[in-house]
Structure 1
Amino acid sequence: MDSVSTTPAALIRAARQWPDHPALVDTQWGETVELTWSALHARVVDAAAALIASGIRPGDRVAIWSPNSFHWPIAALGVHYAGAVLVPLNTRYTAGEAVDVIERADAKAVFVSGEFLGADHAAELLAEHRDALPDLVVRIPLSAEPSPVPDGALDWPEFLSRSTDDTRTQADARAGAVAPDDLSDILFTSGTTGKSKGVLAEHRQTIAGSHAWGSNGRLSTADRYLMVNPYFHTFGYKAGILPSVLFGTTMVPLAVYSTSAAMDLVQSQRITVFPGAPTIFGTILDDESGRATHDLSSLRLVVTGAAIVPVVLIERIQRDLGVDTVITAYGLTEASGFVSTCTPEDDDETVANTCGRAFEGMEIRLSDAGEVLARGAMVMRGYLDDPAATAATIDADGWLHTGDIGTIDDDGNLKITDRLKDMYICGGFNVYPAEIEQTLARLDGVTESAVIGVPDERLGEVGRAYLTLRDGTDLDEERVIAFAKKHLANFKVPRSVVIVDAFPRNAAGKIVKRELA
């Protein structure tokens, strides 16, 4: 496979090498949308041309706030094809959280979902935050009979109709001008200070990671990839969409995970590749009656991670689902999601108990304090508008300080043993307690708070908030959780609340969270 180092170049090659091979199949919206690689390329050119016709310039930032559907890769690749920078937004954000990222990224356009699961993000944004939004807001219709387009938005078909022969020609020229060291995306990841950080990734960094991931999984045109990992996340975007473009693998998106929906697609679409959080495979394995009525024999590769993976889970995936290859990996947004991985040749103990060896193009080592350091092709350019945080994270020798504590065995396998940061993982999503603590500080009567992750059978870990209250304050768990739900994405909301008289502290006066657990 000839080398490419930008996403437009990868898409152009895919359309040339596999023009009639299915690139994407989406069965979710009342009728099946099936696009070959040549057809997907044409849709992407239309999206890029429509962006250009709407005034988007090279280097402009464009946000997407929408669940997995065929629109997402068209929009995302269209942003890149127009020479612009992609800004994915977590679909679990509240409108306020989404607007905060849109403003900080200085996005010049927003693709946003319409009615979906009882919410209408497009209508909500335009009704409550129009002054904070860019001029171009594109509504992605996800229901069979969408509601009227809210004032101030273009519907998806209307947006694409802005494409002309002239702007399509301009789009092709823009795509050819994208350089490997141009920014490809800004992914926002919460920080331990409570303020999310925008991770700046270049095309060459993004492509290096996506190629290493796909090569390790031995992706090919024979594969059909069930995409339950959200596209806004590195797992869905850089380990999903982009490897598929690089290796000609067919994408099958799923917006809302359920065991039945996933098994239906595995059977009907003859899915071969199925990455996801460990909890996903636990739900399928526990649904014995559902599995008995589905043919899952096409599955050949499962990739999981983001939490502790029991050896018995690996064994059950292989035995009960008949999957030959199970791989675990470790990464973080600051490295495009790729630091280390197991390989198809590794045994169950290695896959379950370690994160494998460094990805091709990466190297890992431990600091004197045992912190995991990573260096190589996938490490970010830095943080958006935050040179101090960048300097604190990437040292003078180019080592990325991950904030995780680990060990490396004689075979080079990395094992994460603890976290320097307080981050925990809920259902596959990183949660940073400081952000939640700052939110709870706005609740009248709360004098101080500390949030930790506690074990949960279904989600891996969930939040527990410990609070001290002002004298005379009448607050209970229900009211605290309701307040959190109003201001935070669901995965950040604590599942339990404990009122305490005082916090355990060290000599410096800092709260000792491990004593709370």
Structure 2
Amino acid sequence: MDLPFVVATLTRRGLLAPGRPIRVASQLAALRTWGWSLAGELRQAAARDPDRTAVVDEHGTELTYGTLLRRAEGLARALRTAYGVQAGNRIGMLCRNHSGLIETIVAATLLGADAVLVNTGLSPAQLAAVAEEQALRVLVHDDEFAEMALGLAGALPRLDERAREELLANALPGDLRPPGRDGRIIVLTSGTTGAPKGARRPTPNGFGPLVSIIDRIPLHVRDRVMIAAPLFHTWGYAALQVCFALRATIVLHRRFDPAATLAALVEHRCNALFAVPVMVQRLMEVPPPQPRPALKVVAVSGSALPGGLAPAFMNAYGDVLYNLYGSTEVSWASIACPADLRQAPTTAGRPPHGTRLAILDDAGQPVPAGRVGRILVGNEMLFEGYTSGIDRERHDGLLDTGDLGRVNADGLLFVDGRADDMIVSGGENVFPSEVEQLLAQLPQVREAAVIGVPDEQYGQRLAAFLALHPGETLDPDAVREYVRHYLARFSVPRDVVFVKYLPRNATGKVLARELRRYYG
């Protein structure tokens, strides 16, 4: 990434503002010594702004950057002494959004250990598989997951919240030196279609990844940010990295509740929110507080924006919505700013600075504008492969996302869905996401999902699952006629199923396997 662009972006966002010389020197020394891991980012923030509030939880408990660093260092020493954790070991973390999870991630990276961020929506069997496959040295978990943790086989040490606090309170003093290797962050794939896989996230090697994001999403030093997206997810963890770099104040709630989130945004004077699309949809379903939160950024990622949500939300809260399209494997691919979403509400936007994006056919050749192909991405933060040793297809430095999409004549990216979600019905290629977006625009529909199911005559057919707003009704034939009016006949779902809600994982993605159970 070219230096003038980096300097200009850092200046615009306040990162190059002058400060007390001794603190600036300490900040730079922390980055030089500890690098760009989460531990290094926290150290630089604590060196520059030790008394600034780093984290606030739903009970109003506040930790400054200096205190957060001291607690993470103490926990690192305690884990090393009590459990022999060292560089290269793996620590499992089954936690919701709170400061204890942040402290544990930082403690792991201080030791050069890998932090395995466990999805809180995993089943006991999936957790057991993760513990075995990742060869966990210790599992740190919230109290609510105690029963599931106790069900794990073997002598894996388990630390609930009280045990973690006791361990921290009894930590011996001592110095921590940079480990011989960087601890990796291992994010588990969402597991919507099967067992989750561990993806090794690289450690940033400079300002490049941060600049790519904050150039397009206007976050500034010392912002006040609520992270509603799960920290165990790539998007929530990315938000944490950005906040540390910007020395922001982070507001966390263990569980997402739309009314409580809006109240917290006002109470803590937040000007930014990181969320997943379904959370934004839920915010639109509750009365906004008065005064409304003074938001300048609402950044979403993790799943597709439902049709009509972007303009409706911006009409209510202003042109503050930013949609990042990416994945655990590629980090980010494109960012849609408010102007993009006003122009095309379902767009994934454009690649940020330093990112390459290509739409290729099955032979690896670029396709013309407007034609659907495989989405491949190149940037500084492509994952290092799955912990199983398997990698994704790469082509000329680009990584295959597994998604299909197209770029229009204006350069805007549209994602048509997963390549393995596309169905062939009567010889025609059909994208369920296109039908989902259309159905989501019906005023009676709260949320919609469309999947492919087996069909004896056509091979596959579409089935639509609709959750309606309270008090609303729809006729299945009217739904089919509505789709027939806008799309080709082979896109009309022959099955229309009404449900109370769509099954989703903790990051808001619809669990298609749960819907398929309707068909045995």
What is the TM-score normalised by the length of structure 2?
0.71
Compared CA separation, residues 492 and 137, structure 1 to 2 (3 A): farther
| TM-aligned CA distance change 1:216 to 1:491, over 3 Å | same
2:86 to 57, 62, 77: 57
Does residue 379 in structure 1 map to residue 382 in structure 2?
Answer: yes
Identity of aligned residues (%): 22
Q: 1:142-181 residue pairs with structure 2 within 5 A?
A: 155-166=163-174, 169=175, 172-173=176-177, 176-177=178-179
Q: Write the letter of the residue equivalent to 2:276.
A: A
Provide the residue aligned with 1:129 in structure 2: 152
Q: CA deviation at 1:55?
A: 0.6
Residue type of the alignment partner of 1:273: A
Match of 1:348 among 341, 350, 358: 341
In structure 2, the residue matched to 1:36 is: 64
Residue deviations 1:117-147, cap 9 Å, x none?
Answer: xxxx223322x2241x52x321025xxxxxx
Structure 1 residues 324-356: Cα deviation after superposition (integer angstroms, max 9, x where no partner): 321111101012x31211236x34334623212
Partner of 2:117: 88
- CA distance in 2: counterparts of 1:100 and 1:492, whole angstroms: 21
AA partner of residue 25 (structure 1):
V
Q: 1:314 to 1:498 in 2, by over 3 A?
A: closer
Aligned to 2:216: 216
Partner of 2:312: 316
What secondary structure does 1:9 align onto? helix
Secondary structure of residue in 1 paired with 2:166: helix
- Contact residue 331 and residue 339 of structure 1 kept, 8 A: yes
Task: Give the 3 Å change call, closer, same or farther, for CA 454–107 of structure 1 in structure 2.
Answer: farther
- Cα distance in 2 for partners of 1:93, 1:191 equals 8
Letter of the 2:242 counterpart = P
Distance 1:295 1:452, change over 3 A: farther
- What secondary structure, in the 3-state scheme, does the structure 1 residue paired with 2:332 have? coil
1:234 Cα shift? 0.8
**Secondary structure at the counterpart of residue 107 of structure 1:** coil
Q: Which amino acid aligns with 2:171?
A: S
Q: 1:272 to 1:458 in 2, by over 3 A?
A: farther
CA distance in 2, matches of 1:282, 1:236: 18
Q: Check conservation: 1:7, 1:80, Cα contact below 8 A.
A: yes
1:205 Cα offset (Å): 7.2
Deviation at 1:229, TM superposition (A): 0.9
CA distance in 1, matches of 2:463, 2:90: 34
Q: CA deviation at 1:73?
A: 0.8
**SS state at 1:156 partner:** helix
Whether the 8 Å contact between 2:184 and 2:201 is mirrored in structure 1 is yes
Inter-partner Cα distance in structure 1 for 2:284 and 2:43? 40
The answer to whether the 8 A contact 2:108-2:183 is kept is: no
Q: Distance in 2 between matches of 1:229 and 1:33?
A: 20
1:411 Cα shift?
Answer: 4.1
In structure 2, relative to structure 1, the CA distance for the partners of 1:368 and 1:114 (3 Å cut) is same
Check the 8 A contact 1:184/1:206 in 2, yes or no.
no
Are the structure 2 counterparts of residues 20 and 422 from structure 1 closer, same or farther at C-alpha, using a change threshold of 3 Å? Answer: same
> How far does residue 311 in structure 1 lie from its aligned partner after superposition?
6.4
**Structure 2 counterpart SS, 1:271:** coil
Q: Counterpart amino acid of 1:365?
A: A
C-alpha separation in 1, matches of 2:103 and 2:50: 16
Gaps of 5+ in 1: 116-120, 142-154, 438-449, 460-476, 478-484, 501-517
RMSD over equivalenced CA pairs, Å: 3.5
1:100 Cα deviation after fit:
0.8
Does the aligned pair in 1 maintain the 2:192–2:513 contact within 8 Å? Answer: no
Describe the SS at the equivalent of 1:38: helix
The alignment partner of 2:240 has SS state of helix
Q: Is the 8 A contact 2:184 2:202 kept in 1?
A: yes
Structure 1's 375 and 55: CA in aligned 2 closer, same or farther, altered over 3 A?
Answer: same
Q: Are 2:235 and 1:235 aligned? A: yes
Whole-angstrom distance in 2 between the partners of 1:80 and 1:458: 45
Q: Any conservation in 2 of the 1:311–1:348 contact (CA below 8 Å)? A: no
**Cα offset for 1:90?**
0.7
Structure 2 match to 1:23: 54
List aligned pairs for 1:409-420, cutoff 5 A. Answer: 409-420=408-419
**Comparing 216-225 with 13-22, which one deviates more in the overlay?**
216-225
CA distance in 2, matches of 1:492, 1:122: 28
The question of 1:10 aligning with 2:41 is answered yes
Instruction: Read off the aligned partner of 2:361 and give its amino acid letter.
Output: D
In the alignment, the residues of structure 2 paired with residue 280 and residue 302 of structure 1 have an alpha-carbon distance, to the nearest angstrom, of: 11
Q: Which residue of 1 aligns with 2:479?
A: none
Q: 1:81-480 to 2 correspondence within 5 Å? A: 81-115=110-144, 121-126=145-150, 128-131=151-154, 134=156, 136-140=157-161, 155-166=163-174, 169=175, 172-173=176-177, 176-177=178-179, 182-189=182-189, 194-204=194-204, 209=209, 212-238=212-238, 240-287=239-286, 290-291=287-288, 293-309=289-305, 312-321=308-317, 323-335=318-330, 337-343=331-337, 346-350=339-343, 352-369=345-362, 370-386=373-389, 389-390=390-391, 392-395=392-395, 397-422=396-421, 454-457=464-467
Total equivalences in the alignment: 415
Amino acid at match of 1:83: G
Q: CA separation of 1:137/1:13 partners in 2, compared to 1, >3 Å: closer, same or farther?
A: same
**Cα offset, 1:242, TM superposition:** 1.1
- Provide the rounded CA distance (Å) in 1 between the counterparts of 2:107 and 2:316: 40
Q: CA deviation at 1:210?
A: 5.1
Q: State the Cα distance separating 1:315 from its structure 2 match.
A: 2.5
Q: Counterpart in 2 of 1:505? A: none
Asked if 2 retains the 8 angstrom alpha-carbon contact of 1:209 and 1:338, the reply is: no
CA shift in 2, pair 1:185/1:220, >3 Å:
same
What TM-score, normalized by structure 1, do the two folds share?
A: 0.72
